[in-house]
């Protein structure tokens, strides 16, 4: 197994453990109206990104799938990682609404993991797609206009 495959599996494992812990340690739905709206926005962005990505391109791994195509439409024309944004918009309202030290720790570990995963994935995408560097210049990673 290559170093990239090991790194990808570790990042996915950390991501899944954090998400499972956060969902299992409290309600899967935020109760406060503003937090619930943020969570719903995350779900909508996630569904939109998955729909635009297409079934053949969906991949939880940061490794580029064989035959993958670069998607730059829909939410991807604004940000490069709408699925990571969707995860964070669903998870952080839960942490805030049902706060505990363990849950916030899991949230920070998850956020850090996703940032590392994004950077790793972007390096691989630059190698796979010649046009990715130009795409990076016209989009932000997670938050339009900001980051």
Residue 44 has pLDDT above 90, yes or no: yes
| Class level of CATH domain 3-138 | mainly alpha
pLDDT per residue as tens digits for the range 115-129 = 999 999 999 999 999
Mean pLDDT, all residues of the chain: 95
pLDDT range class, residue 50, cuts 50, 70, 90: very high
> pTM for the full model?
0.94
- Measure the CA–CA gap between 143 and 52, rounded to whole angstroms: 18
DSSP letters, 3-68, are HHHHHHHHHHHHHHHHHHHHHHTS-SS--SHHHHHHHHHHHHHHHHHHHHH-TTT--SSSSPPTT-
Phi, psi angle pair for 29, to nearest 5°: -130, 130
Could you state, in order of their start, the residue ranges of all structural domains in the chain? 3-138
- Residue indicated by tokens 């998607």: 71
Residue 145 has pLDDT above 80, yes or no: no
């Amino acid at each position: 197994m290559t170093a990239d495959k090991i790194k990808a599996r570790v990042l996915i494992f950390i991501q899944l453990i954090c998400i499972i812990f956060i969902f299992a340690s409290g309600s899967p739905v935020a109760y406060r109206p503003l937090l619930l709206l943020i969570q719903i926005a995350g779900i909508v962005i996630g569904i939109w990104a998955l729909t635009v990505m297409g079934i053949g391109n969906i991949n939880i791994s940061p490794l580029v799938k064989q035959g993958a195509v670069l998607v730059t439409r829909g939410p991807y024309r604004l940000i490069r990682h709408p699925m990571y944004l969707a995860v964070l918009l669903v998870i952080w309202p839960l942490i805030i609404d049902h706060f505990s030290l363990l849950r916030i720790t899991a949230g920070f570990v998850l956020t850090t993991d996703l940032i590392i995963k994004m950077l790793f994935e972007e390096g691989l995408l630059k190698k796979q797609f010649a046009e990715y560097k130009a795409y990076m210049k016209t989009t932000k990673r997670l938050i339009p206009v900001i980051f």
